[in-house]
Structure 1
């Protein structure tokens, strides 16, 4: 073999080795990027309103990374727990109706007024009723003093339920979902529950009469908003931008002032919440969860049963409704005493 031939073969071998090394390096790089892309794609799923990871629940409810980026979502689902609880009350009382009243921890005044008026009724038309006040954690000062007062109030009345989320307007969705979790855990054997705001007058006789003829499953009613437009005014507290909710209309939903539900629904709505992103507008969010489960709220049998705008007091009008919001200066105790003393009078 001539020196020229040997040098040619060595040159060809060197070139081939270089090509093999290059191909090997390229293959390694492709495998690396493929694995990274596959991992990242696991956390990306389309759909504006579905949870990014339906099985992933935050174990740190006080830290809401979503709201730091997008203030229209809230930290739910998360592992909230109860600081003050009444786990045996429904088992002991076996109520037909459970009334859940969301209220600020510091608002003792509203709680006491409700206890003296419609919330003090324990039996109506032969049906047992139990009332609970649902609280989050106080966001101001002094926290320690208020916590002691709440513990004392709980010992006196056995009607407080407090969880470890921050009690604020933007956390009303969390408050409502924690309420549903609690109902499912501790009151699932009861027939119905009603979430009712603390600034609302409630006619329990009319409510019980309505429920005696109501469906026992998949039932949700109240002041029903149908075809409501999504608020695009950025100055409004109900504003939702299109990138959060692109549709122009909401599904039909019951307004948060007071809605009634059969007690098969809490479990179903909590389950739906694992698949539907939690927006801060609580009554709309419940409607999205209900829609996910194929459940539709229904109109009450009388459209005058629920009043969103405060209804000026009139004995005959109040004797025919179920619930109405009240003006902040309305004397609920005075209304209650007048209605009780004149019950049975003709209108």
Structure 2
């Protein structure tokens, strides 16, 4: 279990039961982005929901670390992982350490993992979550049959399972039921960590008999598909775009000033092999 700093007391008895914990993977230097998130989509208090920003502190410059500690003292919502350095290659370990810490320190029904460049419509997401299976749930926007990265920072030196990635929910935002978080946390020492954290989660859960729910309202790919009022999560948003979307919701009740499409979406076909799962792009989908 990695060491960490948090205002939350570790291993206390009878912790409160939360319906949803939001685990936001963040960079220590992005305090302005975290402030934007606190002041926008996290600003409305939801009963039985708790959030944490997860950062690594190993090797941080002293001034950066002090800023993070000061921010934590102000907001009490940071999980600072002392064993994790901040780099792309350590991202999977960071997510895994976050799962372990949350499992050890909190009781919850669901976990939403997202990034600090994601915008979440919390109320409708929670409303829709009540309609999902309450156990064995892996909910997000799934991809299958993707080519394994062979170069660059994404190069998978340790991948030998097959010629493509296994089906996985994209990392801009996905939901896991607590039993799946427990499974991952308890088996952490046995799990191979790949460069892509979302690919890794898909591999770790691949042999399990669970509910994989593909949802086009999760706009969580490497690039946003545009803006649709139905979206529950929108990835790749700057702090100013996050504030703009919140302002739209407050002013009009809608996410977008006008809906727009950059890329087509698809419904995942679970009846075929992964190489054929995601070929039918549908202009009618958000």
TM range (shorter): 0.7 to 0.9
* TM-score, length of structure 1 as denominator length: 0.66
- Aligned pairs for 1:228-247 (under 5 A) are 228-232=146-150, 234=151, 236-241=152-157, 244-247=159-162
Determine which of 106, 110, 134 is the counterpart of 2:54: 134
More strand by share: 2
SS in 1 for 2:94: helix
Q: Deviations over 1:295-332 (max 9, x none)?
A: 456123x423334222444xxx2x31111113447522
Residues matched between the structures, number: 253
Distance 1:297 1:167, change over 3 A: farther
Structure 1 residues 193, 248: closer, same or farther in 2, change over 3 A?
Answer: same
Residues 1:180 and 2:125 are matched in the alignment: no
1:116 aligns with 2:26: no
**In the alignment, structure 1 residue 86 sits paired with structure 2 residue 8:** yes
Q: Is the 8 A contact 1:105 1:138 kept in 2?
A: no
- Aligned 8 A contact 1:106 1:138 in 2: no
Contact 2:155 2:195 in 1 (8 A): no
The 8 Å contact of residues 168 and 202 in structure 2, kept in 1 or not, is answered as yes
Q: Which entry has the higher C-alpha Rg, 1 or 2?
A: 1
CA distance in 2, matches of 1:174, 1:295: 24
Gap regions ≥5 residues in structure 1: 1-78
> Take 2:219 and 2:9, find their aligned partners in 1: how far apart are those partners?
31
Structure in which a larger fraction of residues adopt helix: 1
Gaps of at least 5 residues in structure 2 are 259-286
Contact in 2 for aligned 1:118/1:204 (Cα 8 Å):
yes
Are residue 325 (structure 1) and residue 239 (structure 2) matched?
no
Q: Is the 8 A contact 1:121 1:129 kept in 2?
A: no
What RMSD over aligned residues (CA atoms) do the two structures have, in Å? 2.6
Tell me the TM-score normalized by structure 2. Answer: 0.79
SS of aligned partner of 1:274: helix
